[in-house]
Structures are given as C-alpha cells and as structure tokens.
Amino acid sequence: MESINIIERGTFNEKAMKKLLVHDSPYFRIINFNFEPGQELPIHSHDLEGELSIQIIEGEGEYLAQDRNIPAKAGDILVCAVSEPHGVRARTRMRVLVTIAPPL
C-alpha cells in the first residue's frame, strides 16, 4: 500500500490542461486534471456502460452538460453515466479528480 499526493504531483500547463493518471485497474481508473483559467475538458461521451465522478479539489468553474452548464467549486462531486455528455471548464485554476468505473 502506497499513497500518491495529487496536490504535490499535479502540475499546471499554460498551453493545455494537465493530466495525471493516478490509478488504473480493472475496477476503476482515477485521473487528476489540472486547468489554468479558461482551459477545459471539452464535452464528450462514450457509448459504453459505466459511471464516472467529477470531483472539484480546488478552484471554480463549471460542469458542461448537454443543454446547460452547472456551477462547479471545491467540494462539488458530480456523478453521471459514461454515455451522458460531460465536461469541465475552469474559471480560476482548478484541480479536478475523475474516477471512472469500470474503466473505458
């Protein structure tokens, strides 16, 4: 057993959101996304079984959904089907943790 610290390990990049694979197994995949203001994980979906959680660790922005945006701030967790359109856009610097089960 070993822990990883996503605040120490997760970096930012002016050019594009930064992605850190935290864990990957047959059970779930955990990914840390870090965004500079204005950067986004564009809205997308996968025609597959499963769900994902999108947790805001730091900062503020919005969740992107099919027909609307949902305010997002530290402490927020949103769960949706992998097949539902979803995304994230940063207003401030944001640290986000995504957990997908089962992994795609």
Binding site for a second copy (CB under 8 A): 1-8, 22-23, 25, 27-28, 30, 50-51, 53, 55, 57, 63, 65, 70, 72-80, 84, 86, 97, 99, 101-102
**15 vs 26 by CB, closer to a second copy:** 26
CA-nearest of 50, 39, 22 to 88 is 39
Q: Cβ closer to a second copy: 15 or 35?
A: 35
Full strand arrangement of the beta sheet holding 40-44: 40-44, 86-90, 60-64, 69-73
What is the CB neighbour count within 10 angstroms for residue 76?
Answer: 16
**Cβ at position 39, least distance to a second copy in Å:** 20
